[in-house]
Amino acid sequence: MALGSGEENAAGENSWVFYKDRPEWKDITPMEQDDGPAPIVMIAYSKKFKDVYDYLRAIMRKDERSERALELTEDAIDLNPANYSVWHYRRIILKDLKKDLKDEILYCGEIIQEHPKNYQVWHHRRVLVEWTRDNSHELKLTETVLDVDAKNYHAWQHRQWVVREFGLWESELSLIDELLQKDLRNNSAWNHRYFVINHTTGFTDKVLEYEVKHAQDMCGKAPNNESAWNYLRGCLLEKELSSYPGLMQFCERLYEGSIRSPHLLSFMRDIYEDQLEQGCENVEATLYKALVLCEALSMEFDTIRAEYWNYIARRMKSKFAPHDETNNKTAEATGGAGDDPNL
Do 283 and 276 form a contact (C-beta atoms < 8 A)? yes
Angstrom distance (rounded) from CA 127 to CA 141: 15
- Phi-psi category of residue 50: left, alpha or beta, with phi > 0 → left and psi -120 to 50 → alpha: alpha
CA-to-CA separations, 238 to 53, 157, 189, 235, 243, in angstroms, rounded: 55, 26, 22, 8, 12
CB atoms within 10 A of CB 43: 11
Q: Which of 117, 151, 239, 329 is catalytic?
A: 117
Catalytic status, residue 98: no
CA-to-CA separations, 196 to 172, 191, 306, 337, in angstroms, rounded: 7, 9, 35, 42
CA-to-CA separations, 223 to 126, 132, 272, in angstroms, rounded: 38, 46, 19
Rounded (10°) CA dihedral 102, 104, 107, 111: -130
Angstrom distance (rounded) from CA 255 to CA 38: 65
* Cα angle, residue 188 at apex, residues 250 and 168 outer, rounded to 5°: 105
Do 111 and 118 form a contact (C-beta atoms < 8 A)? yes
* Residues that are catalytic: 117
